[in-house]
Amino acid sequence: MREKQFLVPRVSQRVLSRERPMIGTPAPQLLPARGWGRALSCVAAGKSPPGVAAEGEAAPAPRGVAGPPKQRTVPWISVRAFCEDRTTAEVLQAAASDLLLAKARLEVRTGGLDAAVAGCTIGPVPDLIVVDTALPRALMLAGLDRLTAGCAAATKLIVIGRVNDVALYRELIERGIDEYLVAPVLPQEFIDAAANLFGHAGACSRGSIIAFIGAKGGVGSSTLCHNVAWTMSEILQSDVVLADLDLAFGTASLNFNQDPVQGIAEALQASARLDALLLDRFLAKCSPHLSILAAPVRLDERDYDISPDACDVLLDALRRYVPFVVVDLPHAWTPAVGQVLLQADEIVVTATPDLANLRNAKNLIDFLKLARRNGGAPRLVINMARTPKRPDIAVREFSAALDLSPAQAIEYDGEAFGLAANNGQMIEELSRKTKAAQQFRALALTLAHGTEPPVTPAVTKKPSPLAPILQKLRLTI
């Protein structure tokens, strides 16, 4: 029998939420909910970075900014499930395809408690064992005693049973079971249970990944990405890292007037040994809160194909140290690009209102909606709207065809954008009064799940005493 590290049993929310408790079961005393604390220490600095949440939790919003909905992901773990019921097996398979379980490796086997006892020591030791059983109370407890005796001490156990009894739950906790769920379970219930078990304070810190991709080349996705990253770092006063994954033709260093010696190409090559000191060598500081991982300045004979594993390791390392990682993706469909899109917390699709962009955006958004079930729909930004002497699709018709309302519709402003690009500045640095600067600010707050501070209403101008006379003459003031 495994020895537990806590004395007070945790009461399952699923057991307590039943409208009809078991007859004769005493009413349990509810304990105050405990939120998972911050990481006790950061890998590099010895303490948790400000504004970064524990693994599996959404990054906390900066001061004065509303936080995002809490959807905890499951970290890198191996899960082995032994299902006695076919319905439970299908539920776990559905959970395995969920974005929140993207990093976990789930293996579903047939057979219940007896199969779990026989197979718990075969093959690599899993981080989590799930047992689905319909056995009565006495036989269940006897089988679980054999299972806990043969399992490794670090392996956690979730039991899915048919008996809804708080007393049984407490007895299972005392016998070394980490969680008990009452069948039938839903995919989200299993994901929440796994996230609760592995979202402890010792887990690695985790920030948010925001990915930008264009529906077509030349739509201004990189310009939008760079402006939003800079604006987010300024208005939220939170650390932001901009990663330029367009290795061949990335423009992050050019737009921020930087000439780094090393950048993202070297970081990807050294992904196996990344730490805080090595990352600091590759980052170029653009402002007090913004750093960039720039693409190479010139072309050479190196291989520009990005390994999905190296990209995943790099982004996972970055999100340990900063609350926001903004990724500028190239207009290409590669395994690395697809993996970043599936694992990103927020996705921004940039398109111009023409037919080719409509087709590409439709394909991309439909794919992401299907693949990212709990990840939320991507956000659409229509760029360069109302370009002079160019027939465009109306913004309303464009968004209706995509069945997605645009987060922003940025009108064409060649003078402001051209001057900012030539000066190596962002739009808000050039002029805060431009409409695009206000739209970038609103989009940055939306992606950070924040709200703009309340603005003092403007003083209403008193009407002119000649207004009635001028109105009769059909003149404007």
Which pLDDT score is estimated for 9?
36
The C-alpha atoms of residue 343 and residue 230 are separated, in whole angstroms, by 22
Q: Amino acid identity, residue 465?
A: P
pTM of the model: 0.64
What number of other Cβ atoms are within 10 A of residue 180's Cβ? Answer: 25
Q: CA 344 to CA 325: how far, in whole Å?
A: 10
Selected from 3.30.70.1400, 1.10.540.10, 2.10.109.10, 3.40.50.300, the CATH number assigned to the domain covering 206-447 reads 3.40.50.300
Asked if the model's pLDDT at residue 376 lies above 60, the reply is yes
Q: Would you say residue 463 has pLDDT above 80? A: no
List the domain boundaries for the chain.
75-203, 206-447
Count, residues in the chain: 477
φ, ψ (nearest 5 deg) of residue 298 = -130, 155
On the question of pLDDT at 121 being above 70, the answer is: no
Tell me how far apart the alpha carbons of residues 107 and 250 are, in angstroms, rounded to a whole number.
40
300 vs 296: CA distance, rounded Å: 9
For residues 436 and 440, give the distance between their C-alpha atoms in angstroms, rounded to a whole number.
Answer: 6
CATH classification for the domain delimited by 75-203, as one of 3.40.50.1360, 1.10.357.10, 3.40.50.300, 3.40.50.2300:
3.40.50.2300
Helix or strand or coil: residue 408? strand
- What is the rounded CA–CA span in Å between residue 343 and residue 337? 10
Cα 127 vs. chain centroid, distance in angstroms?
Answer: 23
Rounded average pLDDT over 7-25: 35
Checking if the pLDDT of 351 tops 60, the result is yes
Distance CA 402, CA 350 (A): 13
Check if 75-203 and 206-447 are the same fold: yes
pLDDT of residue 30: 30
Judged on CB neighbours under 10 Å (0-12, 13-18, 19+), 238 is buried
By the 10 Å C-beta count (0-12 exposed, 13-18 middle, 19+ buried), 111 is classed as middle
Condensed to tens digits (0 to 9), the pLDDT of residues 273-304 reads 888 888 889 999 999 999 999 999 888 767 77
How confident is the prediction for the chain on average, in pLDDT?
Answer: 78
Give yes or no for a contact between 44 and 277, defined as CB atoms under 8 angstroms apart: yes
pLDDT higher than 80, residue 60:
no
Average the pLDDT over each of 101-115, 269-283, 383-397 and give the range with the smallest value: 101-115
